[in-house]
């Protein structure tokens, strides 16, 4: 209740004040801020995935701007010697306005990544987008299997079935690439598991399903219980670090990040940037008021 109250109040505060906590999670407003962050993370052994903020659009002209922006991002990172991938939210490409046009725009981005032998991952959004985003991935994977991946959310009740479907597309010539996360949107109990223990149990079951099938998995979590569970599965299936990676959000749990890298695992940091940082921050708060506790902490504790 307290978190809900604060979450609804924060968007009315001055932008400068919101930036005080957002800056911990967002690399900056411009592409060069994201480049700078990636270059800073690189010497510590962290790879990066770049996300341009701006998923809420109202017309396909804005979707074309998203496509153009990602083309520029890929060009810009192409001149750096970094291990980088790109993460995008299909709603920013018009997913909910015109599915076919959205697919075509994202396909152009993936084709460009393919030319540079890089990867574009489809972030998973709220439950209204899941069918469409899996369909996008099905098509893109069929054409560019090595250059595209998708995020899957363990809190969704449908996920075990979705993973079975996606695993059927996986072959050694056309490998599937999954980022497994808990899921961040505020879904109803009908759609999503709600109890933390249940979400964690589902997460580890989903992770075992993927790793057992040799599917490259990005283990996206800051939850120590899940990280330890992942270590156990990596041992159980005798996996080499080329078969998975860990992923964490920029600004979250840097100590855990260092500990994972020091153990010899690959780790990628999700680096968002963009002019839409204010809307992004306040929308994320409305979707998940529990974030308030992290924000309050971030105001006092420097990462």
Binding of residue 37 to ligand FAD (CB under 6 A): no
Binding range to ligand FAD, per CB under 6 A, among 75-83, 99-107, 243-251, 275-283: 243-251
Least distance from C-beta 301 to ligand FAD, angstroms?
10
CB-CB contact of 103 with 139 (8 Å): yes
Structure tokens at 170: 């996986």
Asked if 48 is part of the footprint of ligand FAD (rule: CB under 6 A), the reply reads no
Question: Which range touches ligand FAD (CB under 6 A), out of 112-120, 139-147, 177-185, 236-244?
Answer: 177-185
Question: What is the smallest separation between the CB atom of 102 and ligand FAD, expressed in angstroms?
Answer: 16
Piece of the chain touching ligand FAD by CB under 6 A; list 105-113, 175-183, 231-239, 274-282: 175-183
Can you tell me the distance from the alpha carbon of 244 to that of 265, in angstroms, rounded to the nearest whole number? 8
* Cross-strand bridge partners of residue 289: none
Q: Using CB under 6 A, which of the segments 1-9, 34-42, 102-110, 242-250 binds ligand FAD?
A: 242-250
Minimum CB separation from ligand FAD for residue 177, in Å?
13
At its nearest, how many Å lie between ligand FAD and the CB of residue 226? Answer: 6
Q: Please, what is the minimum distance in Å from the beta carbon of residue 8 to ligand FAD?
A: 18
Q: Would you count residue 216 as binding ligand FAD (CB under 6 A)?
A: no
151 part of the interface to ligand FAD, by CB under 6 A: yes
Residues 82-121 that bind ligand FAD (CB under 6 A): none
The nearer residue to ligand FAD, 87 or 172, going by C-beta atoms, is 87
Q: At which residue do the structure tokens 């659009």 appear?
A: 57
Which residue in the set 137, 270, 273, 280 belongs to the binding site for ligand FAD (CB under 6 A)? 270
**Which residues contact ligand FAD by CB under 6 A?**
123-124, 151, 153, 179, 181-185, 220-223, 247-249, 252-253, 270, 291, 294
């Amino acid at each position: 209740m307290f978190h809900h109250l604060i979450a609804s109040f924060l968007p009315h505060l001055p932008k400068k004040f919101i930036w005080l906590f957002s800056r911990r999670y967002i690399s900056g407003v411009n592409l060069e801020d994201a480049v700078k962050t990636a270059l800073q993370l690189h010497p510590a052994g962290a790879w990066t995935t770049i996300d341009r903020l701006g998923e809420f659009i109202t017309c396909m002209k804005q979707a074309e701007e998203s496509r153009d922006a990602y083309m520029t991002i890929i060009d810009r990172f192409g001149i750096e010697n970094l291990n980088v991938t790109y993460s995008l939210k299909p709603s920013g490409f018009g997913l909910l306005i015109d599915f076919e046009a959205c697919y075509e725009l994202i396909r152009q981005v993936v084709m460009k990544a393919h030319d540079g032998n890089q990867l574009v991952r489809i972030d998973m959004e709220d439950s209204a987008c899941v069918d469409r985003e899996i369909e996008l991935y099905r098509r893109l994977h069929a054409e560019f299997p090595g250059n595209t991946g998708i995020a899957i959310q363990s809190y969704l009740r449908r996920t075990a079935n979705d993973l079975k479907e996606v695993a059927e597309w996986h072959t050694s010539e056309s490998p599937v690439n999954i980022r497994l996360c808990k899921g961040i949107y505020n879904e109803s109990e009908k759609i999503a598991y709600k109890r933390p223990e249940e979400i964690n149990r589902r997460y580890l079951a989903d992770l075992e399903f993927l790793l057992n099938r040799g599917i490259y998995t990005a283990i996206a979590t800051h939850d120590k219980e899940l990280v330890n569970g992942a270590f156990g599965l990596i041992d159980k299936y005798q996996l080499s670090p080329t078969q998975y990676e860990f992923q964490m959000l920029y600004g979250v749990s840097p100590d855990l990040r260092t500990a994972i890298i020091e153990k010899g695992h690959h780790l990628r940091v999700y680096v968002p940037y963009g002019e839409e940082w204010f809307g992004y921050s306040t929308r994320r708060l409305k979707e998940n008021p529990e974030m308030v506790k992290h924000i309050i902490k971030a105001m006092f504790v420097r990462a």
